[in-house]
Amino acid sequence: MNTADYSSAAQSALYPPIQPYDTGMLTVSERHRIYYEQCGNPNGQPALSLHGGPGGGSDPKHRRFFDPQHYRIILFDQRGCGRSVPAAELRENTTWHLVEDIGRLRQHLGVTQQMLVFGGSWGSTLALALAETHPEWVSALVLRGVFTLRRRELEWFYEGGGADHIYADAWERFLEVIPPAERHKRQGNAPGVSDLMGAYYRRLTSDDPAVRLAAARAWSTWEAATSHLRSDPDAIAKYSKDRFAEGFARIECHYFVHGGFFERDGWLLEEAQCARIRHLPCVIVQGRYDIVCPFETAWLLKKRLPDAEFFLVEDAGHSAHEPGIEKQLLAATDRLRGL
């Protein structure tokens, strides 16, 4: 394991801003059309960037983790979020629909080479799901803030399983939307266990727009408030905007209450699944103080993939834009040029 310690005052390590040379909308079902873009070198090594959430949408900064002289950088907004339409749509929206969409996008763009697949948080989940089911599409993996939707991970962050103790002030604001009587599911006469995700899901799927929006803002800002080692007001402002919050919160909660639509809890980390990608070059970058996707999951993945490079950034939280994490991710894509 390699460790890294970078001052939070360091300048951004990313490549300069660039504009896409190609954008479009791809019809992936009778209901959904997804936005995509290509940047960098049209004849370069394909690199697919998978955004977080689910429901977060791509961001211009995501283009900047790759050398634009070398890489053909492909980004897209997953179903229901970003510039994809219809916004915040939950029907026909599962992990496996997204994997199929990547196949359609490869075909539409004429990508015949294997792709470097890059993703953090939910993006790491989708990257693993893609690689474990279609390893022939993948040349290498770069994963940050590893997340596999195990029940243990979800309870840590959304059910009062630990993150609430570290961000007690933000947690109180997260709880305010849900009446005390709805915070637990009853088991006979026992107090029951926490079911905050279920209570949120009822609100986020309500027919009342005001109810949906109040829940969406609370859900979204809870994540924004906890994603950086030092609070980032700009991130909180972005996540609290109505359109972003509703798509982000609805889609995240939809995926989480359904366990990521995986066959079993912990499916992505099972020995048989990980064996399918053990031959792939893999870089894992993890912030020591990542509250959203704690260190444990990345460490378990490293144990399943013993040849993977593992970089622990000692003074970082969850965000890809923590200075130390930016540097490690950029170094990874630079090292992987020429695969």
DSSP for 197-231, written as a single string: HHHHHHHHT-S-HHHHHHHHHHHHHHHHHHSSSS-
Residue type, 232: D
- Residue 216's φ and ψ, nearest 5 degrees, are -65, -45
Among candidate residues 36, 28, 32, the one with its CA nearest the CA of residue 91: 32
Place of tokens 């609430």: 164
List the catalytic residues. Answer: 121, 290, 318
Architecture per CATH, domain 2-148+262-335, reads as 3-Layer(aba) Sandwich (3.40)
Tell me the CB-side half-sphere exposure of residue 7, using CA atoms within 13 A.
Answer: 3
Among candidate residues 90, 143, 75, the one with its CA nearest the CA of residue 280: 143
Tell me the CB-side half-sphere exposure of residue 67, using CA atoms within 13 A.
Answer: 13
How does pLDDT run across 229-238, given as a tens digit for each residue? 999 999 999 9
User: Confidence band (pLDDT; 50, 70, 90) for 13?
Assistant: confident
pTM summary value:
0.95
**Would the pLDDT of 9 be above 60?**
no
How does pLDDT run across 19-71, given as a tens digit for each residue? 999 999 999 999 999 999 999 999 999 999 999 999 999 999 999 999 999 99
> How much of the chain exceeds pLDDT 70, in percent?
95
CA distance linking residue 334 with residue 251, whole number of Å? 33
Whether the ω angle into residue 180 lies within 30 degrees of 0, i.e. cis, is: no
How does pLDDT run across 145-163, given as a tens digit for each residue? 999 999 999 999 999 999 9
Ranges in the chain annotated CATH 3.40.50.1820: 2-148+262-335
